[in-house]
């Protein structure tokens, strides 16, 4: 989380819910990702001990909302780099993580994370 799974901007008090317009599909996808509780069941179920489902859920939650925009260009790269530094394995897309997740986080977030990384690297 300290590698970018947060927003560093002081957002002050809560604003009216209608000030920052977010489409229904985007809001639903962001909230689905935000359901991740960081329990580690995905890592334990993965034959490679990959934390990609957890990392992708955290990155995609913020990437889809206006509040996550300030760090968007660096968040995905930094969080995956930290995951690698911590010694987690690579994702091999077996889907065991999704099957073990108590919050039913979809592996689709991993694909979205890969796109975020490509966008981040292209912009730098």
Give all domains of the chain, ordered by start, each with its CATH number: 24-123 (1.10.1060)
pLDDT, one tens digit for every residue, the chain (124 residues): 566 666 666 766 766 767 778 899 999 999 999 999 999 999 999 999 999 999 999 999 999 988 888 888 899 999 999 999 999 999 999 999 999 999 999 999 999 999 999 988 887 6
What is the signed CA dihedral for 57, 88, 100, 39, rounded to 10 degrees? -70
Which residues does 67 contact at the CB level (< 8 Å), separation at least 6? Answer: 7, 9, 11, 20
Using CB atoms within 10 A of its CB, is residue 117 exposed (0-12), middle (13-18) or buried (19+)? middle
Q: Supply the pTM of this predicted model.
A: 0.80
User: Do you know the residue count of the chain?
Assistant: 124
């Amino acid at each position: 989380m300290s590698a970018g799974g947060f927003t560093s901007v002081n957002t002050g008090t809560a604003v009216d819910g209608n000030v920052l317009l977010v489409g229904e599909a985007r809001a639903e996808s962001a909230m689905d990702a935000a359901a991740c509780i960081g329990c580690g069941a995905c890592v334990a179920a993965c034959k490679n001990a990959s934390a990609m489902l957890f990392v992708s859920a955290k990155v995609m939650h913020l990437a889809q909302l206006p509040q996550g925009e300030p760090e968007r260009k660096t968040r995905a790269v930094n969080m995956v780099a930290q995951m690698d530094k911590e010694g987690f394995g690579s994702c091999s897309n077996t889907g065991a993580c999704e099957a073990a997740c108590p919050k039913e986080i979809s592996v689709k977030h991993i694909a979205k994370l890969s796109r975020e990384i490509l966008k981040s690297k292209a912009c730098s």
